[in-house]
Amino acid sequence: MGCMASSQRISVLTSPSQSSWPETGVKGETIVAALVRLDDEIAKCEKAQPAARLAVVTAEMESIQQEIKTFEESTNTSAMNKEAYAKTLHQLFVNLDIYRRPMLASENEDFIANVNRKEMRRLELSWLRTRYSELQRERRTLHAQILRTRSLYSQLQQLIGNF
* Torsion sign over Cα 137, 138, 140, 144: positive
- pLDDT of the residue at 10: 34
- pLDDT of the residue at 65: 94
Contact 151, 143 (CB under 8 A): no
- pLDDT of the residue at 19: 43
| Structural domain includes residue 116 | yes
Q: If you write DSSP's letter for every residue of 63-129 in order, what string do you get?
A: HHHHHHHHHHHHS---S--HHHHHHHHHHHHHHTTTTT-HHHHHHTHHHHHHHHHHHHHHHHHHHHH
- pLDDT of the residue at 154: 92
Domain coverage including residue 150:
18-162
| Structural domain includes residue 118 | yes
- pLDDT of the residue at 135: 95
| Structural domain includes residue 70 | yes
Q: Rounded to two decimals, what is the model's pTM?
A: 0.61
| Structural domain includes residue 30 | yes
| Structural domain includes residue 7 | no
- pLDDT of the residue at 147: 94
| Structural domain includes residue 130 | yes
Q: Output the tens digit of pLDDT for each of the chain's 163 residues.
A: 344 343 334 333 333 444 444 444 556 678 888 889 999 999 998 888 898 999 999 999 999 999 999 888 877 655 456 666 667 777 777 777 777 888 887 887 888 788 778 778 888 888 999 999 999 999 999 999 999 999 999 998 998 888 7
| Structural domain includes residue 9 | no
| Structural domain includes residue 5 | no
| Number of domains observed in the structure of the chain | 1
- pLDDT of the residue at 78: 56
